[in-house]
Structure 1
């Protein structure tokens, strides 16, 4: 009898471990993210079934019981769901303002970016001297570029978060891919570019600190600054699930918050939470 009970317990444990996890949510994460997560799930027998078709549709599926876990993006001002749901940030969409490494400029404000990029700007910042730069860079033209809508959410995040109105100047170079943007700014002396993230290998470029206003402190897009809200441009991706499903989802949640998953998020041009915050969330999940 005891042997039968032990075998039954082992069978039930295996069944739970291999239970299907229906994961829904934002289509902004992209095809590469979906492919990589599906491959990881298959290798590790996690049973994740992915349907990243949009946050609104995903939330409806969660509420109707047709999904177990969501990776959601809520628009600014949109209120995340309350109990019985648990809502935890897991990574951030953001952008980096990038210039040549030799340019003697370390930071920039929303207002200055609006003047450089925004079609509604009343006066232009045409040369680097207009931003207080001296020396050999002073008389060089500021040549603005941005990765376009085909390169992810950066284009719209910049237009609707940083600019006073979402229209760009006709002189802004809208590049089709991140690679094209990097090529353009490396080739154009005096260039400035808005990218999803600064690739680690770009030693000839640097990321400017960004401040919302002229009197505000400027910050860079580090995991710590994004998570604290100090960097002024971020759009969180949230884990959303019912509290009573936390135990069933432990394996998947721990992976998405783990150091092992960092390349998954970075490959989708997102910044994961700092490791201390992720470790704290993993600990907190144990007691839900």
Structure 2
């Protein structure tokens, strides 16, 4: 008589063994040759950390004070400057108007270089800039007023290097970024990088030219990238200059062989923000909060709002309250909502002291 228990056991053992053999025999498809195993492993680990960080949303420092409404606030303000910060200013305005519905703030974002002239002429009270003011811009302001403009740091941004979501590249060094975007190669990379095969990509990618997307010279993002990623060198003529940060990301999203630079707040599902390393011998670091705070990510920066504050004179009440809102818990929640990185409580305290 057939022993069903024994038959079941034999079948179970056979199936289990087959599954184990299938699992052990599964092959991985590597599209990039491992020219530098240590560097590639660093990039992979950095990308994995980014996925983990994205799963755990950045939180605002709970020690930052909540905003408290005050009486007697009304009027108009004008903001002229950074395109990168355009949406951020708009969201701050929406939040501020919940406390003061009759306040009106006009926001115009055509590039950081438009902020200093607007502050000097008095056409704007807020000068958002995604870079620090240049010395000549500070000098022009001081020549007009007899004192320097006041810089208020309001958020942290990681300037990301984006590739299309289908791109298998694991990371780049800054000298490689320079060789991709610059015709002067001051970063010291030995050869020009014009094709994806120059970075070790194989198959369909080998002979494909790299499409470059960037910003125009009025942009603070352009200036920052030129100084820190191109080592103050010159951009290639082939860079497709886009009118805004979102346009750069959109261009790379639609171009499988594209690469571009833009603020981390503009990241979408259509692109990958590459981990970067300062040099060939350094580890790759993803553009996440921790790496920006500790300075490990090489292209992190503060987003600033410049104002005209005369020494030993009180700031206009409306302007002061708006900046206090920006530097409040609620204001920093807006920073996170827009995809940027919030200030720590220690930084907030330093910036608030500049308003007094």
Fold match (TM-score > 0.5) = yes
Give the superposition deviation at 1:194. Answer: 1.6
Look up the match of 2:59.
none
TM-score (norm. length: structure 1):
0.64
Give the superposition deviation at 1:211. Answer: 2.0
Look up the match of 1:8.
none
TM-score (norm. length: structure 2):
0.54
Give the superposition deviation at 1:139. Answer: 1.0
Aligned partner of residue 206 in structure 2, secondary structure: coil
1-side partners of 2:232 and 2:127: how far apart?
A: 32
Give the superposition deviation at 1:39. Answer: 4.3
Look up the match of 1:27.
81
Q: Report the CA distance shift for 1:243/1:88 in structure 2 as closer, same or farther (over 3 A).
A: farther
Counterpart of 1:163 (choices 203, 207, 230) is: 230
CA-to-aligned-CA distance 1:24-77 (integer Å, 9 cap, x gap): 88722665555544444333128687899735875999xxxxx8x986753478
Q: Report the CA distance shift for 1:201/1:259 in structure 2 as closer, same or farther (over 3 A).
A: farther
> Is the Cα–Cα contact under 8 Å of residues 265 and 339 in structure 2 kept in the other structure?
no
Look up the match of 2:72.
18
1:124 maps onto 2:192 in alignment: yes
May I ask how many residue pairs the two structures share in their alignment? 262
The equivalences for 1:1-288 within 5 A come to 17-19=71-73, 27-28=81-82, 32-45=87-100, 54=115, 74-75=132-133, 89-121=153-185, 123-133=191-201, 135-136=202-203, 138-149=205-216, 152-197=219-264, 199-202=266-269, 204-238=270-304, 252=322, 255-258=325-328, 260-262=330-332, 264-265=334-335, 271-273=340-342, 277-278=344-345, 281=348
Give the superposition deviation at 1:19. Answer: 4.7
Give the superposition deviation at 1:169. Answer: 1.7
Aligned partner of residue 238 in structure 2, secondary structure: coil
Give the superposition deviation at 1:97. Answer: 0.7
> Is the Cα–Cα contact under 8 Å of residues 21 and 48 in structure 1 kept in the other structure?
yes
2-side partners of 1:198 and 1:32: how far apart?
A: 10
> Is the Cα–Cα contact under 8 Å of residues 210 and 218 in structure 1 kept in the other structure?
yes
Q: Report the CA distance shift for 1:112/1:262 in structure 2 as closer, same or farther (over 3 A).
A: same
2-side partners of 1:284 and 1:112: how far apart?
A: 36
Look up the match of 1:10.
none
1-side partners of 2:327 and 2:300: how far apart?
A: 18
Rg larger for: 2
Q: Report the CA distance shift for 1:55/1:17 in structure 2 as closer, same or farther (over 3 A).
A: farther
